[in-house]
């Protein structure tokens, strides 16, 4: 399984979010950047901290012209409860069959746990940054925002 790296074109995908809305990578092309973060499980302590960090910085992502999308293998129903419980304003995609993880080559951590990896994808679909850290949940937000600022600076 080849991991998607900086400079690669993000694979297209289509999946259903917690609200039953069909989300597709191609729908963002030419429109906005995408911050796609893979996490192991709804309601686990580190995953909750990470999701809430994205929630708390959500306006910064919106102001930067980016969509935020979380992905785990949890069910749509689990995502509905997770989003409601923590007031998460972004899309959560259910990857029950692991096809999204496989498409991005998102590795497992310690060979067992689904990896925690964030991809920052520019409006043209190019992966501009990949950050992987199983325990540093807050750094995913910091890394993504720094990359979005860098992308914005390149447009000026």
Active site residues: 47
Helices (H), 25-156: 45-56, 58-63, 76-86, 99-104, 137-155
CA atoms in the 13 A half-sphere facing the CB of 73 = 13
Return the residue matching tokens 């998607």: 4
For residue 19 the two structure tokens come to 């609200």
Whether residue 107 contacts residue 115, with contact meaning beta carbons closer than 8 Å, is answered with: yes
The residues with which 109 forms a beta bridge, in sequence order, are 113
For residue 3 the two structure tokens come to 């991991």
Q: What are phi and psi of 65, to 5 degrees?
A: 75, 30
Residues in the chain: 156
By C-alpha distance, which of 90, 93, 91 is closest to 75?
Answer: 93
């Amino acid at each position: 399984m080849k991991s998607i790296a900086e400079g690669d074109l993000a694979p297209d995908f289509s999946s259903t979010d917690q609200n039953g809305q069909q989300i597709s990578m191609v729908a963002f092309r030419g429109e906005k950047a995408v911050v796609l973060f893979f996490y192991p499980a709804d309601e686990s302590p580190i995953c909750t901290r990470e999701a809430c960090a994205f929630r708390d910085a959500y306006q910064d992502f919106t102001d930067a012209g980016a969509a935020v999308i979380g992905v785990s293998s949890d069910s749509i129903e689990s995502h509905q409860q997770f989003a409601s419980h923590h007031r998460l304003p972004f899309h959560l995609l259910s990857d029950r069959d692991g096809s999204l993880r496989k498409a991005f080559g998102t590795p497992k951590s310690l060979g067992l746990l689904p990896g925690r990896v964030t991809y920052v994808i520019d409006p043209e679909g190019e992966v501009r940054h990949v950050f992987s850290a199983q325990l540093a949940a807050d750094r995913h937000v910091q890394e993504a925002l720094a990359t979005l600022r860098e992308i914005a600076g390149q447009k000026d």
